[in-house]
Structure 1
């Protein structure tokens, strides 16, 4: 089974690329697609760039050109659940495009994709459960060996939580606590916000393709969101991404 793996920022997939045995690199639509073996699994790895259009373009190419059978999207996100902290992990069971609003059209409600009749995209429950198991395994067995103690201390990471819930996506980097409160009031069980996941989920939905999307909390999506964001991606998030995907691949042999 060929798996497609996407990260929206180069740092998010850096360690995955270094862990790959790359057989071929193809440039399509200004993106490099690396084909080869990762932790014993045949994969195609791509840095999609940021935003919903970029992510949708990348996943469409993975499905139509490379004919992958499963899509993994990973990276960081701003936490919207007050109980979540930097380093916690969210596995999506539902995804919504928080900047989609065609509710002025007859019969269309906020967040609904016009002409598709869908406002949320649901992940396969078995894949979600496998993602939770993989994240918990990484945290308990490998996190403290991968991430330097001083970095764990700086980001106040002890034992990260792994939660399942809704991820909201939009073409905005949100650093606004008022906006977070508004989204929490509108979207049930919202855990985090980012810029790509729901677009990936929509493309997969339209192609009847399995997907799993997980995010590592890098900030609280508030007025301080930009302060730790670059450092966290470089020093910690890339390790989370590689470790969780390695375990997920090893657990997914039955797929």
Structure 2
């Protein structure tokens, strides 16, 4: 089994690379792919860069060049579900491209991917379960060792919630509460909004490769999003995502 790990934060890739036994590095499409072993599993690690096109290109390389059997994608996101707070973790069970709209053409629904007839890409239940267990384990066993008490207090993080739900992706950094409410009205069980996950899901679907996407809530996707984002990403979220991946990699198996 070969696992492709791709993230939207350079910091988390750095943390993970420090734990890897790297045997080779390849530069493809302006990206550095680290090939090696992580907790006894063969992995390829890469920074995806930002946005749907960048993520899709990266994951296509993981699948076509490296022949990975499973794709793990992580990063931060803006919370759409009102009960979520900074530091909470969302495990995707469905992913939607919220900026896909061909409905002006006959026969297409909003969010539907033309020619696929799919509005939401679904994650296998067994992988969702393992990802949730990995997140809960990290929070209870490792979080306080990784993130300083002062940073946890600044972002009002005690015990983050881990939820399963829909992730919406689009090439927009959403910082508009009215936009969030509009998407909540249109997308069932919407938990968070980001810029890559549904593109990753589409590529994996088209290649019949299993995948998991999880996100750490960095802001409320509202008018204060740009104020909260940079420090949280650097000091907390990158530790969260890399820590959860480490636990996930230790436990994952493929039939």
TM-score by length of 1: 0.98
Per the TM alignment, residue 84 of structure 1 is displaced from its structure 2 partner at its CA by 0.2
Q: Does 1:101 align with 2:101?
A: yes
* Correspondence for 1:150: 150
SS of 2:252's partner is: helix
Cα distance in 1 for partners of 2:123, 2:3 equals 16
Aligned length: 255
Q: Would the aligned equivalents of 1:147 and 1:235 in 2 still touch at CA under 8 Å?
A: yes
Unaligned runs of 5+ in 1: none
Unaligned runs of 5+ in 2: none
* Correspondence for 2:132: 132
SS of 1:211's partner is: strand
How is 1:73-88 mapped onto 2 (pairs within 5 angstroms)?
A: 73-88=73-88
1:83-106: CA deviations, max 9, x gaps?
Answer: 000000000000000000000111
Q: Would the aligned equivalents of 2:169 and 2:197 in 1 still touch at CA under 8 Å?
A: yes
Cα distance in 2 for partners of 1:63, 1:152 equals 37
Per the TM alignment, residue 8 of structure 1 is displaced from its structure 2 partner at its CA by 1.7
1:148-193: CA deviations, max 9, x gaps?
Answer: 0000001110000000000000000010000000000000000000
Q: Root-mean-square deviation (CA), in Å?
A: 0.9
SS of 2:231's partner is: helix
Per the TM alignment, residue 254 of structure 1 is displaced from its structure 2 partner at its CA by 5.7
* Correspondence for 2:35: 35
How is 1:1-255 mapped onto 2 (pairs within 5 angstroms)?
A: 1-253=1-253, 255=255
Q: Would the aligned equivalents of 1:14 and 1:238 in 2 still touch at CA under 8 Å?
A: no
Cα distance in 1 for partners of 2:169, 2:11 equals 20
SS of 2:181's partner is: helix
Which stretches of structure 1, 4 residues or more, deviate above 6 A after TM superposition?
none
